[in-house]
Structure 1
Amino acid sequence: MRNIYNIPLTQLSGIGPQKAEELNALGIESIGGLLDYYPYRYEDYRIRDLSEVKDGEKITITGQVITEPVVQMYGRKKSRLSCRMMVNETVIKAVWFNRLFLKDKLKPGLEMVLTGKWDGHRLQLTVSESEFPGRSSSQTGALQPVYSLSGSFTQKGFRQLIDKALKSYRSLIPEILPESIIRDRGLLERSEAVARIHQPGEAGEGQAARKRIAYEELFLFQMKLQAYRQMNKRRADGIAHAIDSGEIRRFADSFPFTLTDDQKKVVNEIIKDMRAPSCMNRLVQGDVGSGKTAVAAIALYAAVKAGHQGAFMAPTEILAEQHARTLSNWLEPFGMQVGLLSGGLTARQRRDVLGGLQMGLIDVVVGTHALIQEDVQFRSLGLVVTDEQHRFGVNQRAILRKKGLNPDVLTMTATPIPRTLAITAFGDLDVSTIRERPKGRKPIKTYWKKPDEFDRVLQFVEKQLSKGRQAYVICPLIEESEKLDVQNAIELHDLLQAHFDQFRIGLLHGRMNTEDKEQTMKQFNDREIHMLVSTTVIEVGVDVPNATVMIIYDADRFGLSQLHQLRGRVGRGEHQSYCILIANPKSENGVERMQAMTETEDGFEIARKDLELRGPGDFFGTKQSGLPEFKVADLTHDFEILEMARDDAAALVSQSAFWTDLKYTHLREFLQREQVFQGEVLD
């Protein structure tokens, strides 16, 4: 059988070299690619009854002209044409703008099909499209696909191309899914689904076609993840850490707090993985302040006690320095040496750390992406911990893993991920979740204020500072921008220092050198600075228990999950904490985001709402997150289909027949093309 993806576009009548070039610009390279170019919505041209139509809706109706048309001219060459029409037993007015050429055709008694915007109060239809009897119509009474087009293509012209391609090549559309899955899941066959998604006829047909194609996209992606997991399970070339449970308990008991039940459960999952001979690949997701660092510390302790080294990669230098301090406090009393490797070290300090790692004198190293540089070598790397892992590209994480002989990998995120995204983005990882907050933490009170209420906010802050508390003020930009009307950190710092002359105001942003940033954070930690004006450089992990106020300026410029992360910088001590959002109520999605923030502190609920508002593509704020871009599947709404696809893919790759049976050859070839067998694509 001919491969539809190898048939050139010019084989289809109506596509010459120029049209083919325009199709190439849309990412369409073959006849198969043309048929896989799906509509993103449909125009509804089905005939409707006026009684079931809402005001302002776009509708299609049939009616009879009952009066001569009336013409009004206005402006230069602008016209308004109107006439009365009988639709069933209702007389309505039909209005056309700048369609003067229709005047001679609108004769009383003429039957017409009209599409336009309905005004129920005035019984008036503002017509956008008119059809006359005797003409063959490709759209009356149907749902019509709408495509994302460029160049010289019109919707009508593109629909005609699709129609020709389906008539000539539909029989060559290959089936991808196993027959058993199509049967058990009640899915359309692929050729039928492709035909119906382009030419649905009725809404139900289009929905069935969409379900089949969405399932296929999610199934193929899950095949990659599940095959990767299956291969990792088969491999026994990881490190089987020898871990004594009693020693782990003694280390955990040394913390100045008691582990929550969730933390204990996650620690047990990690220790079980580390004892196994296959590589651990586990994600720990937990809400802000849920105690993920303590869990990571226990895993690092276990790796070192088993005779290996640990590496902890953090996204920012401030966070790396903070983690190094915390881990030193916890691990060094047990005779373990913690090193810091960041861009701010002198050449001599760096040499000392590198030498300590190679000789095994440093047990745990904390650093930024500096850890993945070529000259960083370990004596025996047994565990890699990556914090806020979606901020690192797949390649960066893979380089760090290769610095050991298949070390265990623990990734952590404080961005709670809706299950939909966790299954999709991290389907190749085992996911552990910490939902419980440490005991004694008071809920953070969150308020939304408009920019003209800033003076009242400052009065409140002054009372908090006078009680000995500290405050953060966050704004989006470092310097003025002509493009965005936002307050900037430098200007805001100067304004606040002038307002609070009795207090010391600090400034922190990403363009400061490491030394200055570290000095500023140390002064804030030591309470020498009362209020810290900062960009989002402090978003993740910074821990100052005495800080009780978080003010976020231009809060409508931030995503919901980012706002939640920022809010999590306060509420870490014994005192009541507050988060105040200064936001413009007129910004897009601004009201919904501010309401969500004031209504809940649950990071998982915030994440669900954020996914709903922003869509999965923007959820992580980075293309490096490994999230695929689907043509049809929508991670916000297709959760049930995603779970089905995940379960089916996992069941299929776990069967020995999948790896040998001829009927699965095309799926194995798909995995080969996606480089799953090299283990390089997915991390």
Structure 2
Amino acid sequence: MDLRELAVRQVRGVGPRKAEDLKALGIESAYDLLEYFPYRYEDYHIRDLAGVKDGEKITIEGTVYGVPLVQMYGRKKSRLACKVLVDQVVITAVWFNRHFIKDQLTSGTRIVLTGKWEQARLQITVSEHEFPDRGGASRTGTLQPVYSVAGPITQNWLRKAIRQVLAEYGQWVEEILPEELVARYRFISRREAFSLIHQPKDWEEGRKARRRIVYEELFLFQLKMQAFRALNRGKSDGIAHPVDSQAVKQFVRSLPFVLTDSQKTVVAEILQDLKQPYAMNRLLQGDVGSGKTVVAAVALFAVVKAGAQGALMVPTEILAEQHKRSLEKMFASYGIEVTLLTGSLTEKQRREALASIQMGLTDIVVGTHALIQEDVVFRRLGLVITDEQHRFGVNQRSILRRKGLNPDVLTMTATPIPRTLAITAFGDMDVSTLKELPKGRKPIKTYSVPHDMLERVLRFIRKEAAAGRQAYVICPLIEESDKLDVQNAIDVHAQLTYHFPDLSVGLLHGRMSNQEKEQVMAEFSDNRIQVLVSTTVVEVGVDVPNATLMVVYDAVRFGLSQLHQLRGRVGRGEHQSYCILIADPKNEVSRERLKVMTETNDGFEIARRDLEIRGPGDFFGTKQSGLPEFKVADLMSDYEILEYAREDAAKLVAQSEFWTAARYLPLRDYLQREQVFGGRPFD
């Protein structure tokens, strides 16, 4: 029997109305009901009072000691208090609006109480109670599952419905994991896991059930990813570029610096992909300043020398102009034509650029969203690189990809993502990581100071400016807010303009037009502006090696990864750079954030700590994260299991036997249901 085919209405005790209520929870079949796992348990095991924490929910057993007292107040509201002897200690048990049980509380009666403990008063506020000597169903000594419920569905009703399904149909739960994996990890059976996760006798049974189900969730997800990649890699639908290794080596040797070991490793991975007949789909992540642009340049060089064109899409015009200048400088002696395509080109410039691209006179196009306009036609697009990929929607990236015949794709991000999340969120991509900064880079010195040290900070800005350097000053808001007591960019700009009459103080924020923003950044790049007051629009911006000071007002208003991105705007030149975080942290979380920033410059460590504080959904931003939602698995606590699951799934789909052997049929059926054979794994 396939429980997915059994409508929930056919479960005993589930009528038409309850079936509709369950549908609102996403439960439509008997199988859905079995897979509606609890998110925690209520522990009804009897505890000793010793060691119980204040405010903790506990279950205790004692004897009624004395006469219960009832106080009535308000309309039909009551407070019932009764002394109970527990572990030779007399405590007070309090019930609200349960005055009708007064007559049952006779002295000497054994009673089990569950509720919130108040240590100072030696008092328990009772939510549930039982009289063990009077028989009947008892929860004492059990773990009761707690589910997400809504509307008319109650915890007790749902518990009963799931027990009913387990009793009637539990034997039809089929094993899906291969026997070798069950044996390797000593998992309990799937049938037993489904039973125990809903009805564990103790924490050990619950742990065994959770361990099995967490692995299965992560393994099946990774199986989708790996099968999708295997099926698509099997098709020779990409471009096998005849990479000239000697020419690439000569180009790398011509650079004015030596590649780091990380850069060499990543370049080798990319060149290997370019030679294959399937389309590359690789994520390149690296800390701010780790040299992703150079890696992109080597990849573009290899593709151009192999007779194809390359495209680099970036989020802003000024960044596009910067990349164009950098690439032209690196390719100066190789006759490689680099064309800029942005929205601010004149009509004539645009016509000339489009013609050059279409005729193949242009080797590399650097641009913004203008690259995905309908009239942009490539002669032979071989490689698409997107920088700061989270700034572009999935559709925008796929439009650029469709400009060629399945070109290779390299996606770059300066937001370090912990490996666990990278292999989950980007499971259908290969992940390359730049783990070190180029030699000669001096670590940025970071300090956290209170607001009353602002005068000293201003003196430091003056000192850096006097030495010919430049400074960023970041504010969380554009203008004054009635609701938030934080510094705003417009006021700070006015204050600093007054404070530094001999310096040029610029202003940059999101309400300015693109042209105005580009103008301000160009002036800052040319050192015509010495102090730039800005909101976070500067977070991913132009490379200004002369900027050595980053000052962030109200730093507790920003997340850790955002602060790290801001800090990465400085430290790009030969001079020592500094980051000053101005804040008066009022809670432990804020203090911890600032402490992390002052202790490390490692973006991956910062990302890990940020993830701990904010959780995966907020870390990525819920809308564009692409993160799957698991029923039981938790990406933070189960990251080791995820690594094993990914490795196991990859090995399995690489075996020809997986696609034919009878014992893997349940997994192939799963992939069929998930439409992996006909679509993308997230579709």
TM-score (norm 2): 0.94
Which residue of structure 2 lines up, in the alignment, with residue 205 of structure 1? Answer: 205
Partner Cα distance (2:505, 2:74) in 1 = 60
* 8 Å contact kept, 1:286–1:433: yes
Deviation at 1:463, TM superposition (A): 2.8
Residues 344 and 576 (structure 1), Cα distance of their counterparts in 2 relative to 1, 3 Å cut? same
Deviation at 1:580, TM superposition (A): 1.9
Deviation at 1:384, TM superposition (A): 1.2
Partner Cα distance (2:7, 2:138) in 1 = 27
Partner Cα distance (2:317, 2:481) in 1 = 26
Q: Which moved more, 1:557-566 or 1:392-401?
A: 392-401
> Which runs of structure 2 are paired with 1:586-665 in the superposition (5 Å)?
586=586, 589-665=589-665
Residues 177 and 484 (structure 1), Cα distance of their counterparts in 2 relative to 1, 3 Å cut? farther
Partner Cα distance (2:354, 2:21) in 1 = 54
Partner Cα distance (1:76, 1:445) in 2 = 64
- Show CA shifts across 1:469-489 (max 9, x none): 211122334345566554433
Q: Which moved more, 1:17-26 or 1:445-454?
A: 445-454
> Which runs of structure 2 are paired with 1:296-445 in the superposition (5 Å)?
296-445=296-445
* 8 Å contact kept, 1:583–1:590: no
Partner Cα distance (2:86, 2:272) in 1 = 73
Q: Look up the equivalent residue of 2:86 and give its one-letter code.
A: V
Partner Cα distance (2:474, 2:185) in 1 = 50
Partner Cα distance (2:501, 2:474) in 1 = 20
Which residue of structure 2 lines up, in the alignment, with residue 30 of structure 1? Answer: 29
Partner Cα distance (1:404, 1:284) in 2 = 21
Deviation at 1:58, TM superposition (A): 1.7
* 8 Å contact kept, 1:59–1:116: yes
Q: Look up the equivalent residue of 2:195 and give its one-letter code.
A: A
Partner Cα distance (1:168, 1:499) in 2 = 79
Q: Look up the equivalent residue of 2:3 and give its one-letter code.
A: I
Which residue of structure 1 lines up, in the alignment, with residue 525 of structure 2? Answer: 525
- Does residue 545 (structure 1) correspond to residue 553 (structure 2)? The answer is no
Q: Look up the equivalent residue of 1:600 and give its one-letter code.
A: T
Deviation at 1:61, TM superposition (A): 0.5
Deviation at 1:620, TM superposition (A): 1.9
Q: Look up the equivalent residue of 1:303 and give its one-letter code.
A: V
- Show CA shifts across 1:395-446 (max 9, x none): 3333322222222222222122212112222333332222121122111121
Partner Cα distance (1:83, 1:509) in 2 = 64
Deviation at 1:679, TM superposition (A): 5.5
Partner Cα distance (1:74, 1:256) in 2 = 83
> Which runs of structure 2 are paired with 1:235-246 in the superposition (5 Å)?
235-246=235-246
Q: Look up the equivalent residue of 1:223 and give its one-letter code.
A: L
Deviation at 1:148, TM superposition (A): 1.5
Partner Cα distance (1:583, 1:170) in 2 = 57
> Which runs of structure 2 are paired with 1:123-142 in the superposition (5 Å)?
123-133=122-132, 134=134, 136-142=136-142
- Show CA shifts across 1:523-564 (max 9, x none): 001111111122222212531111111122333332222211
Residues 597 and 664 (structure 1), Cα distance of their counterparts in 2 relative to 1, 3 Å cut? same
Which residue of structure 2 lines up, in the alignment, with residue 478 of structure 1? Answer: 478
Deviation at 1:79, TM superposition (A): 4.8
Which residue of structure 2 lines up, in the alignment, with residue 65 of structure 1? Answer: 64
- Does residue 153 (structure 1) correspond to residue 141 (structure 2)? The answer is no
Partner Cα distance (1:489, 1:246) in 2 = 52
Q: Look up the equivalent residue of 2:267 and give its one-letter code.
A: V
* 8 Å contact kept, 1:93–1:124: yes
Which residue of structure 2 lines up, in the alignment, with residue 9 of structure 1? Answer: 8
* 8 Å contact kept, 2:22–2:153: no
* 8 Å contact kept, 1:86–1:92: yes
- Show CA shifts across 1:228-254 (max 9, x none): 232344333422222333322332233
Partner Cα distance (1:80, 1:455) in 2 = 59
* 8 Å contact kept, 2:58–2:114: yes
Deviation at 1:456, TM superposition (A): 4.0
Deviation at 1:71, TM superposition (A): 4.2
Partner Cα distance (1:88, 1:355) in 2 = 89
DSSP 3-state at the match of 1:339: strand
Partner Cα distance (2:362, 2:473) in 1 = 38
* 8 Å contact kept, 1:424–1:627: yes
Which residue of structure 2 lines up, in the alignment, with residue 580 of structure 1? Answer: 580
- Show CA shifts across 1:573-626 (max 9, x none): 122212122345236832222221111111111111122122222222253343
Deviation at 1:331, TM superposition (A): 2.2
- Show CA shifts across 1:461-516 (max 9, x none): 23323332211122334345566554433343333323333322212223322222
DSSP 3-state at the match of 1:676: coil
DSSP 3-state at the match of 1:91: strand
* 8 Å contact kept, 1:60–1:116: yes
Which residue of structure 1 lines up, in the alignment, with residue 469 of structure 2? Answer: 469
* 8 Å contact kept, 1:394–1:625: no
- Does residue 89 (structure 1) correspond to residue 88 (structure 2)? The answer is yes
- Does residue 21 (structure 1) correspond to residue 43 (structure 2)? The answer is no
Q: Which moved more, 1:428-437 or 1:93-102?
A: 93-102
* 8 Å contact kept, 2:521–2:542: no
Deviation at 1:132, TM superposition (A): 2.6
Query: Taking every aligned residue pair, what percent have the same amino acid on both sides?
Result: 65
Deviation at 1:344, TM superposition (A): 2.9
Which residue of structure 2 lines up, in the alignment, with residue 561 of structure 1? Answer: 561
- Does residue 111 (structure 1) correspond to residue 113 (structure 2)? The answer is no
* 8 Å contact kept, 1:320–1:368: yes
Partner Cα distance (2:562, 2:277) in 1 = 38
* 8 Å contact kept, 2:540–2:565: yes
Residues 292 and 101 (structure 1), Cα distance of their counterparts in 2 relative to 1, 3 Å cut? same
Residues 487 and 121 (structure 1), Cα distance of their counterparts in 2 relative to 1, 3 Å cut? same
Which residue of structure 2 lines up, in the alignment, with residue 180 of structure 1? Answer: 180
Partner Cα distance (2:319, 2:505) in 1 = 21
- Does residue 226 (structure 1) correspond to residue 226 (structure 2)? The answer is yes
* 8 Å contact kept, 1:444–1:576: yes
DSSP 3-state at the match of 2:22: helix
Q: Look up the equivalent residue of 1:489 and give its one-letter code.
A: A
Q: Look up the equivalent residue of 1:88 and give its one-letter code.
A: D
* 8 Å contact kept, 1:344–1:514: no
DSSP 3-state at the match of 2:575: coil
Residues 669 and 436 (structure 1), Cα distance of their counterparts in 2 relative to 1, 3 Å cut? same
Partner Cα distance (2:86, 2:76) in 1 = 31
Q: Look up the equivalent residue of 1:448 and give its one-letter code.
A: S
Deviation at 1:635, TM superposition (A): 1.0
Q: Look up the equivalent residue of 1:381 and give its one-letter code.
A: L
Partner Cα distance (1:371, 1:588) in 2 = 46
* 8 Å contact kept, 1:394–1:682: no
Q: Look up the equivalent residue of 1:130 and give its one-letter code.
A: H
Segments of structure 1 that go 5 or more residues without pairing to the other structure are none
Deviation at 1:299, TM superposition (A): 0.8
Deviation at 1:276, TM superposition (A): 2.9
Q: Look up the equivalent residue of 2:374 and give its one-letter code.
A: E
Q: Look up the equivalent residue of 2:284 and give its one-letter code.
A: V
Aligned residues: 682
Partner Cα distance (1:381, 1:636) in 2 = 40
Partner Cα distance (1:366, 1:633) in 2 = 41
Partner Cα distance (1:679, 1:84) in 2 = 66
Deviation at 1:370, TM superposition (A): 2.9
TM-score (norm 1): 0.94
Partner Cα distance (2:256, 2:341) in 1 = 27
Deviation at 1:460, TM superposition (A): 2.9
DSSP 3-state at the match of 1:643: helix
Segments of structure 2 that go 5 or more residues without pairing to the other structure are none
- Does residue 46 (structure 1) correspond to residue 45 (structure 2)? The answer is yes
C-alpha RMSD of matched pairs (Å):
2.5
Partner Cα distance (2:76, 2:586) in 1 = 37
Partner Cα distance (2:42, 2:391) in 1 = 40
Residues 623 and 672 (structure 1), Cα distance of their counterparts in 2 relative to 1, 3 Å cut? farther
Which residue of structure 1 lines up, in the alignment, with residue 167 of structure 2? Answer: 167
* 8 Å contact kept, 2:225–2:681: no
Deviation at 1:32, TM superposition (A): 1.5
Q: Which moved more, 1:73-82 or 1:594-603?
A: 73-82
